[in-house]
Structure 1
């Protein structure tokens, strides 16, 4: 049976490095790149406590388009390494969505960049990679 590897991707260099690692270390695996859209980001971007619904749909669409671009870039990066990958975007909290996706889609291994967020958001929100590693039902490789 072919191994199935999950690689969470965002706009960070670390996620690109994680995808490159997965493509080179698991050349015969099925690889899925997933980008998580966090609804909290939609509300935060409205600039109004609780969010403004008039802006919410526009902001969500912007984030979905951004996710499409991130996933398209991931397909291109994988193709540069001779891999054809599946891509998917999901909505939810980033860490929990990655863990849930792994459990619901017969993932054998997660390869994740060490951090995508920087500065205060990383300190306040904690490390996504660390949380995924602690909660994952499958082995996790953190690429630094």
Structure 2
């Protein structure tokens, strides 16, 4: 039924919850699990923008990077390399957590929901399994949702998982 399953990750709690589902489905169907992270180059804060509920930003954006490695001036500071390293770390960590499931990792750049859908089309993906942040009301309306955009516009089925509020 499923030969190729895409797991887009931003390192958030919602993504971690979705990984368990993606891994189980890939194992059940003998599918290849594609692990993708998208560096959001469409926003003014270039980087991965995974906002956690209470812990602030969990992904890599310019302001978080500045807090880790202050000083935008100087040869030793290359934000593009730091973002690429963080993105590679996210997909490698998720692939490692997939255990014995066959995995393929990728890092893409651009608008996250568009990059996810482009990856689906280019790699003949059968199912997308992704996390949500669980926003509701005005927060969801104002901030939007990558998962919601993918669900609305994807040509393949999308399974979404939300991190339990108690976790």
TM over 0.5: same fold?
A: yes
Q: What's the CA shift string for 1:12-66, capped at 9, x where partnerless?
A: 12112212111112311111000001112328738xxxxxxx79x9222111110
Pick from 66, 71, 86 the counterpart of residue 104 of structure 2.
Answer: 86
* TM-score normalized with structure 1 length: 0.80
Residue segments in structure 1 that go unaligned for 5+ positions in a row:
47-53
Residue segments in structure 2 that go unaligned for 5+ positions in a row:
48-60, 64-72, 163-167
* Residue 113 of structure 1: aligned partner: 131
* TM-score normalized with structure 2 length: 0.69
Q: From the superposition, tell whether residues 100 and 17 of structure 1 become closer, same or farther in structure 2 (CA, over 3 Å).
A: same
CA RMSD of aligned residues (A): 2.8
Q: 8 Å contact 2:6–2:127 — kept in the other structure? A: yes
Q: 8 Å contact 1:114–1:143 — kept in the other structure? A: yes
Q: From the superposition, tell whether residues 2 and 138 of structure 1 become closer, same or farther in structure 2 (CA, over 3 Å).
A: closer
Number of residues of Structure 1 aligned to a counterpart in Structure 2: 133
* Residue 156 of structure 2: aligned partner: 138
Pick from 89, 92, 111 the counterpart of residue 69 of structure 1.
Answer: 89
More helix by share: 1
* Separation in structure 2 between the aligned mates of residue 19 and residue 3 of structure 1, nearest angstrom: 17
Ranges of 4+ aligned residues in structure 1 off by more than 3 Å = 120-125
Q: From the superposition, tell whether residues 68 and 103 of structure 1 become closer, same or farther in structure 2 (CA, over 3 Å).
A: same
